[in-house]
Amino acid sequence: MLRVFDKDGSLLQPGIPPGKGSFPPTTRVAASIKLPHGTVPTSPANGDMWTTTSGLFVRINGSTFGPLTKPRGTLCFGYNTTNSASSLTIAAAGLSIIGSSSKRGYLMTRAGSIIGISVVIDINAWTQGDLTLTAKIAGVAKLVATLVLSGTGNGQTASATASSGTHTFVAGQVISVARALTNTPVGITTDDMTVMVEVDFDS
């Protein structure tokens, strides 16, 4: 038996027989259905829905889907030529790793946030120093992934994440990535760099 309560906690209907349930329309002061935050069920059944502080989840055909999030996308940047410059600037627009003064990158068509950045890179030579990849909005540094170097090797990785709403952009702004060698770099040569910037959108 399904019981429906009003926004003040009073019983709105004594019960709804098995079958299709009906709920009062949403108003400005109250939603039709409320699923308070709790913990993940140990053994959820198909059709179960619940919320935690991470979001809304649903169990469908033996799999749990969630949390319900904003639409997301990934912006891919890459550079496959050996380079030893302290600040890397590439003339090509779009898929590029850029220097600190450039604003080449991706033009955003909707508002949203940068929520992650990751890098996979080959280090061909190294004596001293580290490497940073910085996601920028309209040329302003926002989210930094730092690769602490200790030697050469292929496929070295670093990443960083941020909460949605921390590093925000609006439609018309450009998201770019800048690479820099830091901590008194000496003898660093990089190759085959792949960077991914993760974003979510407000609508």
Q: Assign 3-class secondary structure to 134-201.
A: EEEECCEEEEEEEECCCCCEEEEEEEEECCCCCEEECCCCEEEEEEEEEEEEECCEEEEEEEEEEEEE
**Structural domains of the chain, with CATH:** 2-65 (no CATH), 72-201 (2.60.120)
Q: Going by C-beta distance under 8 Å and a sequence separation of 6 or more, which residues neighbour residue 43? A: none
Tens of pLDDT, residue by residue, the chain (203 residues):
555 555 565 665 555 555 556 677 888 888 888 888 999 999 999 999 999 988 899 999 999 998 887 889 999 887 777 777 666 544 333 345 655 555 578 899 999 999 999 999 999 999 999 999 999 999 899 999 999 999 999 999 999 999 999 999 999 999 988 888 889 988 888 888 889 999 999 98
Per the DSSP assignment, residues forming a β-bridge with 157 are 120
Tokens standing for 26?
């949403």
pTM beyond 0.85, yes or no: no
